[in-house]
A and B are shown apart, each in its own frame.
Chain A
Amino acid sequence: MRALLSGNEAVARGAYESGVRVAAAYPGTPSTEIVQEFSRYEGVYAEWAPNEKVAFEVGIGASLAGVRALVAMKHVGLNVASDPFMTFAYTGVNRGFLLVCADDPGMHSSQNEQDNRYFARFAQVPLLEPSSSQEAKEMVGVGLTLSERFDTPSMLRLTTRISHSKGVVRLGKLKDVPPGRFARDLKKYVMIPGYARFRHPLVLERVERLRAYSNRTALNRVEPGDKRLGIISSGVAYQYAKEVMPGASFLKLGLTFPLPDKKIREFASRVKRLLVVEELEPFLEEQILAMGLPVEGKRFFPRLDELSPEIVAEGLRKAGVLKRQSAKRIEVPASATLPRPPVMCPGCPHRGLFYALNQMKGIVLSDIGCYTLSVLPPLQAIDSCICMGASISMAHGVAKAVEKAGLQEERPVFAVIGDSTFLHSGVTGLMDVAYNNGNVNVIILDNRTTAMTGGQDHPGTGRTLQGEETRQVNLRKLAESLGIDRVRVVDPYDLAGTLEVLKEEVSVRGPSLIITNRPCVMMEKFDPSLVLCVDPELCEGCGMCFRLGCPAIAPGEEIPSRKGAKTRRKAVIDATLCRGCAVCEQLCKQGAISKAAK
């Protein structure tokens, strides 16, 4: 059986075929679909954990209990999970454990483009890098086998281009992996200093055994070709290099930590010139240089952004090994290239909140989610975004700095954070605000889903990954038990009401929590009776409604202007896009906006 699978779907399939029984994740582009897809197989358990650290620890527990486990996260998710990761690398496993980590070179949907291959080296665990969906599926099985054979967690590193590219995959049968039993082994699993000291040398010895394996395995293979040029590559970069330079000799690496030193030396001795083609950091290059081999890489290929066939070709030209010039390209005048930044959806409940918040002229520390798009014009409503959960603690830091250093700062301090992000890692920040009495106004944009990644459930939605009903976090009670006395709920579609609450809370010193109550518009059923329209007789083209940045509102007919005055255009509402939130209606001074259906 063949199927067209994305890298993520292939990982899920590989996990199923390899007998993985427990998988956990927190959604994050480009890794989200892995556990989502895995959950559809029969006889497996999969869950959304509140964050990556929790997901990782659930996986450790399953491995210790005696079943194969998989945890999946995006690159920055591993920052959160790195605490259990670093020490689990000491204890090792009972049954196979695979960490699947999806990097995002080019930052298609991320705040940085860190190269997580260094994490595998940091923890001294085997690192697998697939270059296609088929390999992604196979390497899941290999990673789990290595995990058990070498008593180590294994790491499978994907990138956006692998996770979200589809390719033909041969499907296999489910492997029978009999479960074990919970392993009581105090000196192995209880990492008190005295026992951890015994484990660390085993980690180093394990790496040497893995290195020997790395030299033997067909995952690291030589593809003989022209002896004048040898290319060492891994992941999707291998595909680009092979496509551009099919005649060269290749050392295609699938297991990139520990590196196959002997194989690399032998390959280097057989070619006249040695190049490394790799995405992001010089991870392979530096290690090969440290082996004393004359290798070149980042002199010709960028450390920034994701690679592409043309960037690889350009690098090979710079290196003087590719003579063929690039194909002639059609040029389009820059004036004809339309910027089209991502925007909040029509009817998005965040829009009204941010419009009201802008009236407060505060300092706004934001978090990670759809609402981060409020940084773009016309709203430009936030001042910062660093990582998941950072908004509240950063706001607390701002407020304390202002207060204690006596800064000349009259502006109120706000933190804005989504419900999923709040439960991920905002709770402890709020605890700090309550505990240390920060003068911070925290706004939870509670749209009852993890919207940015496509709408996944979380502990606040009342549903599991499988869509089954479950317990639901009560945000108000949670905040109250943390010690937040002032908790207010606002309807972000009601501009005046929201603004009033914001003003009241700012006027009170100390912590406040404001929760918005409208669900994500993508989760709601479309109600055509709510759709709005503009009365062209009444519209004067003042442009107030344009200030919301709603994709459903567009400039229409031009209004004849007096000489020298700026051209005005009447607003038009696209009935196919409008969801009837009516925030624009509240802004229209002419009363030109009303329901289309009378």
Chain B
Amino acid sequence: MQKSRERLHNILIVGVGGQGVILASEILSDVAMRSGYDVKKSEVHGMAQRGGIVSSHVRYGPQVLSPLIPMGEVDVLLSFEMAEALRWLAFLSPKGRVIASRQRIVPPTVSTGLARYPEEAEAILDRSTRGPILVNALEMAEELGNPRAVNTILLGVTSRLLELPLPAWRRSITERVPPAARELNLRAFDRGRSLV
């Protein structure tokens, strides 16, 4: 196994428009850049923001070429939503890990009977991936006082799987969230870290 410093790290963050996927990937990219890595991050804006699918590829290492992670090479798949975790499983490397919030966002296509929500998502993750980390992030965020803290809780969990220095995480979160929400987000991050 190559040393962590010399190798390319691939994190795919996914969810539904409006959940904070982009902010989470901004923070992660920022932490990686502060830690001295080359970084690329890629996502698609536009239609995706209208309750559609959002994905953000984050890659860091000594040198990053493609802004997109090749399929089958994701080290950490962080999903903000259960059905979305399944959509991107083909990107996960055989050694990769899934972190998923247990939240379910049911699109109107389900209420009109055009689609069904995959209730078996958790079972599929258990069956086809190595040690998925499933988190009741929404409930935890509500306990902490703000449902918007979901993304920093999930980043806290993610930080345990990545060898990036803790001070860089704390600094990026401090700088990227609104001043009034700083303290809450740092607590949420620690809460996430305590889960793994």
Query: Chain A residues in contact with chain B, CB under 8 A?
Result: 2, 4, 29-30, 108-109, 132, 160-161, 164-168, 236, 239-240, 242-244, 308-310, 313, 326-333, 335-345, 370, 373, 377-378, 452-454, 543, 546-547, 549-551, 553-555, 569, 571, 576
Check A328–B124 contact: CB distance below 8 A.
Answer: no
Check B41–A166 contact: CB distance below 8 A.
Answer: yes
Min Cβ gap B113→A in Å is: 8
Highest count of chain B CB atoms <10 Å: which of A240, A327, A452, A569? A327
Some 23 contacts from A to B, beta carbons below 8 A apart, are: A4-B30, A29-B47, A30-B46, A108-B44, A161-B67, A165-B42, A168-B38, A236-B66, A240-B68, A308-B70, A310-B71, A332-B89, A332-B124, A338-B107, A339-B115, A340-B52, A342-B48, A342-B49, A342-B52, A343-B50, A343-B51, A345-B50, A554-B110
Which of B43, B50, B68 is within 8 Å of A308, CB to CB?
B68
Known contacts A240-B66, A313-B70, A551-B108; A330/B89 CB under 8 A: yes
Check A551–B90 contact: CB distance below 8 A.
Answer: no
Min Cβ gap A254→B in Å is: 16
CA distance A388 to B39 in the complex (A): 37
Q: Which residues of A contact B92 (CB under 8 A)?
A: 330
CA distance A331 to B129 in the complex (A): 11
Q: Which residues of A contact B38 (CB under 8 A)?
A: 167-168
Name which residue of chain A comes closest to B90, CB basis.
A329
Q: Which residues of A contact B101 (CB under 8 A)?
A: none
Q: Is B167 an interface residue (CB 8 A)?
A: no
Please, what's the 1-or-0 string for B1-20, where 1 marks a CB less than 8 Å from any CB in chain A? Answer: 00000000000000011000
At the interface, is chain A mostly helix, strand, loop or mixed? loop
Check A454–B49 contact: CB distance below 8 A.
Answer: yes
Min Cβ gap A581→B in Å is: 15
Query: Chain B residues in contact with chain A, CB under 8 A?
Result: 16-17, 29-30, 33, 38-53, 64-73, 83-84, 86-87, 89-90, 92-94, 106-112, 114-118, 120-121, 124, 128-129, 147
Pair count A-B, CB < 8 A: 187
Q: Which residues of A contact B118 (CB under 8 A)?
A: 335-338
Known contacts A167-B40, A332-B128; A243/B47 CB under 8 A: no
Known contacts A168-B39, A546-B111; A340/B68 CB under 8 A: no
Check A555–B124 contact: CB distance below 8 A.
Answer: no
Known contacts A2-B33, A326-B71, A331-B90; A108/B66 CB under 8 A: no
CA distance A327 to B90 in the complex (A): 10
Q: Which residues of A contact B40 (CB under 8 A)?
A: 132, 165-167
Q: Nearest 8 pairs between A and B by C-beta?
A: A327-B72, A109-B46, A342-B52, A165-B67, A309-B70, A29-B46, A342-B50, A165-B42
Known contacts A338-B107, A343-B108; A243/B53 CB under 8 A: no
Q: Which residues of B contact A454 (CB under 8 A)?
A: 45, 49
Check A164–B44 contact: CB distance below 8 A.
Answer: yes
Check B50–A4 contact: CB distance below 8 A.
Answer: no
CA distance A452 to B71 in the complex (A): 30
Known contacts A4-B33, A332-B86; A340/B107 CB under 8 A: yes
Check B90–A167 contact: CB distance below 8 A.
Answer: no
Check B39–A166 contact: CB distance below 8 A.
Answer: yes
Q: Which residues of B contact A327 (CB under 8 A)?
A: 70-73, 93-94
Known contacts A30-B46, A168-B38, A335-B118; A340/B29 CB under 8 A: no
Check B50–A161 contact: CB distance below 8 A.
Answer: no
Check A328–B70 contact: CB distance below 8 A.
Answer: no
Name which residue of chain A comes closest to B44, CB basis.
A108
Q: Which residues of B contact A336 (CB under 8 A)?
A: 83, 86, 118, 120-121, 124
Check B90–A550 contact: CB distance below 8 A.
Answer: no
Min Cβ gap B180→A in Å is: 17
Name which residue of chain A comes closest to B37, CB basis.
A168
Check B71–A329 contact: CB distance below 8 A.
Answer: yes
Check A554–B111 contact: CB distance below 8 A.
Answer: yes
Check B89–A309 contact: CB distance below 8 A.
Answer: no
Check B42–A166 contact: CB distance below 8 A.
Answer: yes
Which of B83, B86, B108 is within 8 Å of A549, CB to CB?
B108
CA distance A330 to B87 in the complex (A): 11
Which of A4, A342, A549 is within 8 Å of B29, CB to CB?
A4
Q: Which residues of B contact A326 (CB under 8 A)?
A: 71-72
Name which residue of chain B comes closest to A348, CB basis.
B50
CA distance A2 to B39 in the complex (A): 11
Name which residue of chain A comes closest to B83, CB basis.
A338
Check A344–B50 contact: CB distance below 8 A.
Answer: yes
Name which residue of chain B comes closest to A107, CB basis.
B47
Check B112–A310 contact: CB distance below 8 A.
Answer: no
Name which residue of chain A comes closest to B64, CB basis.
A167
CA distance A166 to B17 in the complex (A): 19
Q: Which residues of B contact A554 (CB under 8 A)?
A: 106, 108, 110-111
Check A555–B71 contact: CB distance below 8 A.
Answer: no
Known contacts A4-B39, A164-B44; A338/B66 CB under 8 A: no
CA distance A168 to B147 in the complex (A): 32
Min Cβ gap A279→B in Å is: 12
Which of A29, A109, A337, A370 is within 8 Å of B86, CB to CB?
A337
Known contacts A243-B65, A546-B108; A370/B90 CB under 8 A: no
Which of B42, B108, B110 is within 8 Å of A164, CB to CB?
B42
Name which residue of chain B comes closest to A339, CB basis.
B115
Check A168–B112 contact: CB distance below 8 A.
Answer: no
Known contacts A4-B29, A336-B118; A555/B111 CB under 8 A: yes
Q: Which residues of B contact A553 (CB under 8 A)?
A: 108, 111
Which of A2, A109, A242, A330 is within 8 Å of B47, CB to CB?
A109
Min Cβ gap A2→B in Å is: 7
Check A341–B71 contact: CB distance below 8 A.
Answer: no
